[in-house]
């Protein structure tokens, strides 16, 4: 048997080869097409996208926070400064594991729970590649530890920034206010663009009222960075515009004298230049160290301030509303003269008490508890002011009526905010029959008019209102809006004049004569102030009851709890013929005006002996 032998088929082999070649070429061309398509996509279609991503990794746009404006007193003494401080920040996009990084940082420097809480809130509202602050005011040791370990922690940044500092601590706490870290509500309300890179904002006082002036405008710079986020070079820079520097009317020496004179007492002092409305001193005691608030006050420190029975955070100068007591009497005297109900020679009998027609109730004069008598058989306006005769002003108030009292006292600024350039000012209360109907849905009673006539009852005034009204009195009716701000970047601002109070010169002279006797008269209620005095002062004492005293009972201070004792008040201006300062003082629970009057002497002495800069 012969087997068949297969012969080689070159045609078949050629077909197979050609088919494989075509297939290979097709696959190669297909892959090339895919590569070209992808190349086209990367280089043409999505070029801008990937170019932007690349640039973002390499080039960063960084905000440059502006320098906050400085604050000076009228003599150029620095009241609010900026000091360099190092801040620990984290760039979220450059950190692979944020929690691990935070844990590692906590092992290097102290980081509190409140620091972490604020950091996570800021991260949630920060822009891409924006450094988010974690810790402020790093010490040299902390900076050194971070520098040694920084190569292991990409995205961790330590930068220097200027932070607010108050060199005089609590001396100007209520006048200046303070800045603090921006909270969530403020972050929503503030201009996001203008506050990029800024972590603080004015919270209260001058710092808040003039925030727009002090803040300035943010700048920017484009920088080239490496993979760890370190700046290699600055490509482009737009400098920030610093905030304006403010010069205040405040006088450091007068402010210090007022604070030292108040001492440990709770109270307030406001001193004003009658010729401009410029505030020379604004003191509320106790105060607090404003530096505690700049970078977030600790829970312990804040609790101590918040829970203190002396409420140191309360600005008594503009928020405290007190019965003005007898300090209202010079203004009542002007109202009586303006209405024609009295003249300087008009007299009122003073047995030591007053009784409304048809009523058996006796409204006692303050002399009744010590003398069981009045000031004199007949009392005129000069004696009534000098010796603070209640009976005289009881009678005047009854004849004026509450609504006419309101009409005559309102032009001095009682019952309305003064418009002073600070925060949280209250309006006090200047009562009227319409006010009581609106506030209490009750009619006005004649006995309430008697109380209002000596600054008691519903009548309330802030120390700022009393100082502004005293300034109006001192300037013979010229009124100005009280102002803390004197100049911006050295450019003086004009006074803000208000509608003046018009009165004949004889009326001003009659009231001034009585106020002079308060200090310089033999029987003046503050005649002890005139010892070794080198100028003439016009003043008026005042006492405001804190608790009621029953009919027929006497007030015994030693038997009354300290916080139930009378408030002491005093208003004054000097020198008498050309006043350059007007003051209003309240000493809470001081027992009477004797606690307040010496403070006025200390303040005015300081001003006239060189404070006037």
Instruction: Read off the pLDDT of residues 399-412 as tens digits, 9 standing for 90 and up.
Output: 999 999 999 999 99
**225: pLDDT strictly greater than 70:** no
Q: Tell me if 598 sits within 8 A of 570, measured CB to CB.
A: no
**65: pLDDT strictly greater than 90:** no
Angstrom distance (rounded) from CA 503 to CA 501: 7
Query: How confident is the model at residue 481, as a pLDDT?
Result: 98
Provide the strand spans (E) within 442-537.
479-480, 485-488, 491-492, 497-498
Higher pLDDT, 5 or 216: 216
Q: Is 188 helix (H, G, I), strand (E, B) or coil?
A: helix
Q: Catalytic annotation on 359? A: no
363-403 confidence digits (pLDDT tens): 999 898 888 899 999 999 999 999 999 999 999 999 999 99
CA distances from 507 to 65, 155, 238 (A): 57, 75, 63
Higher pLDDT, 295 or 324: 324
Q: Which residues face 217 on adjacent strands?
A: 241
CA distances from 3 to 9, 10, 240, 369, 563 (A): 19, 22, 101, 154, 133
Angstrom distance (rounded) from CA 91 to CA 110: 19
| Candidates 89, 173, 326, 593; catalytic one | 326
Reported confidence tier of residue 121, pLDDT bands at 50, 70, 90: confident
Higher pLDDT, 205 or 47: 205
**548: pLDDT strictly greater than 80:** no
DSSP H helices, 361-500, are: 368-371, 381-386, 390-400, 402-409, 433-440, 446-453, 463-474
Mean pLDDT of 181-186: 85
Query: How confident is the model at residue 518, as a pLDDT?
Result: 98
Nearest to 278 by CA among 497, 452, 445: 497
Both tokens of residue 400?
Answer: 């004026």
**613: pLDDT strictly greater than 50:** no
306-357 confidence digits (pLDDT tens): 999 999 999 999 999 999 999 999 999 999 999 999 999 999 999 999 999 9
Reported confidence tier of residue 140, pLDDT bands at 50, 70, 90: confident
pTM metric for this prediction: 0.84
Mean pLDDT of 290-301: 88
Query: How confident is the model at residue 23, as a pLDDT?
Result: 86
Q: Tell me if 386 sits within 8 A of 523, measured CB to CB.
A: yes
226-254 confidence digits (pLDDT tens): 655 566 676 777 888 999 999 999 999 99
Of all residues in the chain, what percent carry a pLDDT higher than 90? 61
Weakest-pLDDT range from 196-205, 491-500, 531-540: 196-205
**166: pLDDT strictly greater than 90:** yes
Residue corresponding to tokens 């050629």: 14
The mean of the pLDDT values for the chain is 89
Q: Tell me if 138 sits within 8 A of 146, measured CB to CB.
A: yes
Mean pLDDT of 76-88: 92
Angstrom distance (rounded) from CA 563 to CA 280: 29
Query: How confident is the model at residue 5, as a pLDDT?
Result: 58
Domains and CATH numbers, the chain: 60-248 (3.90.1310.10), 252-288+315-611 (3.40.710.10)
Both tokens of residue 281?
Answer: 């001193």
Q: Is 352 helix (H, G, I), strand (E, B) or coil?
A: coil
CB burial of residue 110 (10 Å; 0-12, 13-18, 19+) = exposed
Mean pLDDT of 428-445: 96
């Amino acid at each position: 048997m012969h087997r068949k032998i297969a012969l080689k088929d070159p045609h078949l082999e050629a077909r197979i080869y050609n088919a494989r070649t075509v297939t290979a070429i097709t696959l190669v061309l297909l892959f090339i097409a895919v590569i070209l398509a992808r190349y086209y996509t990367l280089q043409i279609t999505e070029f801008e996208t990937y170019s932007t991503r690349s640039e973002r990794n390499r080039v960063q746009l960084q905000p440059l926070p502006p320098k906050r404006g400085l604050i000076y007193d009228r003599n150029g003494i620095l009241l609010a400064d900026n000091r360099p401080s190092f801040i620990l920040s984290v760039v979220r996009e450059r950190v692979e594991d944020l929690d691990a990084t935070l844990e590692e940082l906590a092992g290097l420097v102290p980081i509190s729970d409140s620091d972490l809480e604020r950091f996570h809130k800021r991260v949630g509202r920060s822009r891409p590649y924006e450094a988010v602050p974690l810790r402020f005011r790093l010490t040299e040791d902390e900076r050194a530890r971070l520098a040694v370990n920084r190569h292991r922690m990409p995205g961790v940044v330590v930068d220097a920034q200027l932070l607010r500092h108050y060199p005089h601590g609590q001396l100007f706490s209520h006048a200046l206010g303070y800045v603090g870290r921006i909270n969530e509500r403020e972050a929503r309300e503030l201009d996001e663009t203008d506050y990029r890179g800024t972590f603080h904002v004015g919270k209260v006082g001058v710092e808040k009222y003039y925030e727009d002036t002090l803040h300035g405008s943010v700048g920017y710079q484009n920088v080239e960075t490496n993979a760890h986020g370190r700046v290699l070079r600055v490509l482009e820079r737009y400098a920030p515009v610093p905030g304006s520097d403010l010069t205040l009317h405040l006088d450091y020496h007068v402010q210090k004298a007022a604070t030292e004179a108040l001492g440990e007492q709770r109270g307030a002092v406001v001193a004003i230049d009658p010729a401009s409305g410029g505030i020379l001193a604004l003191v509320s005691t106790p105060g607090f160290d404003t530096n505690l608030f700049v970078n977030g006050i600790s829970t312990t420190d804040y609790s101590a301030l918040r829970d203190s029975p002396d409420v140191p955070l309360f600005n008594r100068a503009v928020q405290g509303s007190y019965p003005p007591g007898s300090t209202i009497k010079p203004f009542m005297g002007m109202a009586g003269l303006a209405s024609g109900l009295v003249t300087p020679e008009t007299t009122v009998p003073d047995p030591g008490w007053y009784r409304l027609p048809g009523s058996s109730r006796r409204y006692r004069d303050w002399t009744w508890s010590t003398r069981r008598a009045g000031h004199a058989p007949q009392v005129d306006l000069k004696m009534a002011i000098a010796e603070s005769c209640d009976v005289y002003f009881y009678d005047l108030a009854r004849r004026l009526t509450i609504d006419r009292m309101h009409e005559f006292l309102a032009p001095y600024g009682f019952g309305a905010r003064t418009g002073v350039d600070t925060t949280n000012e209250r309006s006090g209360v200047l009562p009227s029959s319409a006010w009581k109907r609106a506030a209490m849905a009750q009619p006005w009673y004649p006995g309430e008019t008697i109380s209002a006539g000596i600054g008691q009852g519903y009548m309330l005034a802030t120390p700022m209102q009393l100082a502004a009204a005293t300034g109006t009195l001192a300037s013979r009716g010229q009124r100005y809006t009280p102002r803390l701000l004197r100049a911006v970047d050295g450019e003086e601002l004009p006074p803000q004049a208000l509608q003046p109070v018009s009165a004949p010169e004889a009326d001003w002279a009659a009231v001034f004569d009585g106020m002079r006797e308060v200090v310089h008269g033999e029987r003046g209620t503050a005649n002890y102030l005139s010892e070794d005095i080198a100028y003439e002062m016009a003043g008026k004492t005042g006492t405001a009851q804190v608790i009621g005293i029953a009919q027929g009972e006497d007030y015994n201070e030693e038997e009354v709890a300290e916080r139930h004792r009378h408030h002491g008040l005093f208003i004054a201006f000097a020198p008498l013929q050309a006043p350059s300062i007007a003051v209003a003082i309240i000493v809470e629970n001081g027992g009477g005006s004797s606690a307040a009057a010496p403070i006025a002497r200390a303040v005015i002495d300081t001003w006239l002996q060189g404070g006037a800069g």
